[in-house]
């Protein structure tokens, strides 16, 4: 009887390994079990000690910081401490070795250490629990390297505002699933969400209201520079890089509302004359260019490690009808011998990319900019037109590094289940399985995939007025995107992923994240009758 009990206990311990998300790239079983007892010591990185200990103990490890002269049952070490000839992970990767005596995480970088931590944490959470006894973790070795270096999520703050606490909670969940880029869409026509000290009206006037609250007396919702620095530091500790997006020359209404002298004209959205008559900046006015230079300088200072500043560059043709009437544009076209408005747009893009380059960053933009003559070694392209695969192929052929974020299956404002009613449906929906299988559906060659930096999901927030609705549309699809971006294609298995996903939905809900549950088919969260939320407003 005891032998059978021991057998089933061993199976339960080994089964814990099946719950890691994203699935590691390589793993093998070792003999034995590590017993993690309450009060054991952990030797954690000096620069992230409190975060590492807090994360381990929230998972149930019950460990304490190891004194300098004490042995530790959990250790974070360099790759140099691996046995001679041992396999070494690639960039951003780690080795996790669990023996009956110790759990060692080996990594070359802070990012790799955080990724190893998150795998270990999931194993601790899944370990069989006993009253006051040790956690029992099956011995294993993992050599884990991400498939793609860029594993991202874009949060649109312009249309509806999230606030500091909501962004931090998002970063926590991203870090758990080894997502490493938060693309922060801070400006658009609906609202300007970043404080610029030289031009305070950008936030205080341009930040008023939301997509669904256009009242003149609506509060101004934006992030102060102090809050932004706090969020960037919080993300860095969790191996998440925050990449800012400051839209130009289109999607500019909020900025032009604050400083109308920079108006380049726009268009009128059918049925609503407030959207968007000031869609563009004046692309040729010297004072406007200086205005944008000043903004970018402050942005660069706030996001020193972003590596790239995203300047939008999309859908400009919707609002450039007034450009031929602007004297500055007429003079520019004559001076530079520009034949059409696309030429004006290209000139503007090159001008602002020069500013971004001088600030020490690469220029990022939506896939329209791939046709605007920007330097391939200084530009990142976000491919979003799922219905224009030739744009992707041309960008890759030209040598641009590309982030794959096509509307299908990577836009999370699309429906995720046929039974849901609220959200976009453009030729189909974006179910969990489609997100998980991506990017296999593109049929990229090995040579083409070399030019792909990674994958990114996007949440546009026109139809997500509340945080509960944003959570519902984001999760668990973002978990699927995380595994699609991390796990080698040959290891991916959707049925297996679904089994590992179940406890992750429980974790999300425990953290107050209102994920949709595709297994229980929980009710659709809509914003019918909901008022816009304004959390964490500046004083």
Whole-angstrom distance, CA of residue 38 vs CA of residue 94: 26
**Per the residue annotation, which of 160, 183, 251, 386 is the catalytic one?**
251
Q: Phi/psi of residue 363, each to 5°? A: -95, 130
DSSP H or E run through 331: helix 327-336
| CA–CA distance, 519 with 154 (Å, rounded to integer) | 26
CA atoms of 138 and 148, how far apart (whole Å):
28
Of the listed 26, 35, 141, 315, which one is catalytic? 315
Say if residue 192 is exposed, middle or buried (CB neighbours under 10 Å; 0-12, 13-18, 19+).
buried
Residue pair 124/61 in contact (Cβ under 8 Å)? The answer is yes
Query: Distance between terminal CA atoms of the chain?
Result: 67
State yes or no: is 188 an active-site residue: yes
397 Cβ partners below 8 Å, 6+ apart? none
Give the dihedral sign, CA 445/446/448/452. positive
Beta strands at 103-106 and 74-77: parallel, antiparallel or unpaired? parallel
* Alpha carbon distances (Å) from 401 to 30, 50, 88, 153, 345: 40, 36, 26, 17, 21
The answer to whether the beta carbons of residues 263 and 278 sit under 8 Å apart is yes
3-state secondary structure of 437: helix
- Per DSSP, the three-state class of 237 is helix
For the question of residue 251 being annotated catalytic, the response is yes
C-alpha–C-alpha distance, residues 158 and 153, integer Å: 15
Q: What is the dihedral of CA 151, 156, 157, 161, to 10 degrees?
A: -100
Residue 472's closest CA among 427, 433, 417, 428?
Answer: 417
Half-sphere exposure of 423 (CA within 13 A, CB side): 28
Q: How far is CA 10 from CA 126, 135, 137, 156, in A?
A: 13, 12, 9, 46
- Say whether 334 is catalytic: no
Q: Mutual orientation of helices 164-176 and 110-126 as an angle, nearest 10°?
A: 80
| HEC profile of 372-391 | CCCCHHHEEEEECCCCCHHH
User: Can you give the C-alpha Rg of the chain in angstroms?
Assistant: 25
- On whether the CB atoms of residues 153 and 162 are closer than 8 A, the answer is no
The single residue of 144, 156, 157, 188 carrying the catalytic annotation is 188
**Eight-state DSSP code of residue 136:** E
Whole-number Å distance between alpha carbons of 245 and 258? 18
Structure tokens at 380: 């990142």
- CA dist 126 and 310 (Å) reads 39
CA distance 7 to 59: 25
Cα–Cα distance for residue pair 271/516, rounded to 1 Å: 33
Which residues does the annotation mark as catalytic? Answer: 188, 251, 315
């Amino acid at each position: 009887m005891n032998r059978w009990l021991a057998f089933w206990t061993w199976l339960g311990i080994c089964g814990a390994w099946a719950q890691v998300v994203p699935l590691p790239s390589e793993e093998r079983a070792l003999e034995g079990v590590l017993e993690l007892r309450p009060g054991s010591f952990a030797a954690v990185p000096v620069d992230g000690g409190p975060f590492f200990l807090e994360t381990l103990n929230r998972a149930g490890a019950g460990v304490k910081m190891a004194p300098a002269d004490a042995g530790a049952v959990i250790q974070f070490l360099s790759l140099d401490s691996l046995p001679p000839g041992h396999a070494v992970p690639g960039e951003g990767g780690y080795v996790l070795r669990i023996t009956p005596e110790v759990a060692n995480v080996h990594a070359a970088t802070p990012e790799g250490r955080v990724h190893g931590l998150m795998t270990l944490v999931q194993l601790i959470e899944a370990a069989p629990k006993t009253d006051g006894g040790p956690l029992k973790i099956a011995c294993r070795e993992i050599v884990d390297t991400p498939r793609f270096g860029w594993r991202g999520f874009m949060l649109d703050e312009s249309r509806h505002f999230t606030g500091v606490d909501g962004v931090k909670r998002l970063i926590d969940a991203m870090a758990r699933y080894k997502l490493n880029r938060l693309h922060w869409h801070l400006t658009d026509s609906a609202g300007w969400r970043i404080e610029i000290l030289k031009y305070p009206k950008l936030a205080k006037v341009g930040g008023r209201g939301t997509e669904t609250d256009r009242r003149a007396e609506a509060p101004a919702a934006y992030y102060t520079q102090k809050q932004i620095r706090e969020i960037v530091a919080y993300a860095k500790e969790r191996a998440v890089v925050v990449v800012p997006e400051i839209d130009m020359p289109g999607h500019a209404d909020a900025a032009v509302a604050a400083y109308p002298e920079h108006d380049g004209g726009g268009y009128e959205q059918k049925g609503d004359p407030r959207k968007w008559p000031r869609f563009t900046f004046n692309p040729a006015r010297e004072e406007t260019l200086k205005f944008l230079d000043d903004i970018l300088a402050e942005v660069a200072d706030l996001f020193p490690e972003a590596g790239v500043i995203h300047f939008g560059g999309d859908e400009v043709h919707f609002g450039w009808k007034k450009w031929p009437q602007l004297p500055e544009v007429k003079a520019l076209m004559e001076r530079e011998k520009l034949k059409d408005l696309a030429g004006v747009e290209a000139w503007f893009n090159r001008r602002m990319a020069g500013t971004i380059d001088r600030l020490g960053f690469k220029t990022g933009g939506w896939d329209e900019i791939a046709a605007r003559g920007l330097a391939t070694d200084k530009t990142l392209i976000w491919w979003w037109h799922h219905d224009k695969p030739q744009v992707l192929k041309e960008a890759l052929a030209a040598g641009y590094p590309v982030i794959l974020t096509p509307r299908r299956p990577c836009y999370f404002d699309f429906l995720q289940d046929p039974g849901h009613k609220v959200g976009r449906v453009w030729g189909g929906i974006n179910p969990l399985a489609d997100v998980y299988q991506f990017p296999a559906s593109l049929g990229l060659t090995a040579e083409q995939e070399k030019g792909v930096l990674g994958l990114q999901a996007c949440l546009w927030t026109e139809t997500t007025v509340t945080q509960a609705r944003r959570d519902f549309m984001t999760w668990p699809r973002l978990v699927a995107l995380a595994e699609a971006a991390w796990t080698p294609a040959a290891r991916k298995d959707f049925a297996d992923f679904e089994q590992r996903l179940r406890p992750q939905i429980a974790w999300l809900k425990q953290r107050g994240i209102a994920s949709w549950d595709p297994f229980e088919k929980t009710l659709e969260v809509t914003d019918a009758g909901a008022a816009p939320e304004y959390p964490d407003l500046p004083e």
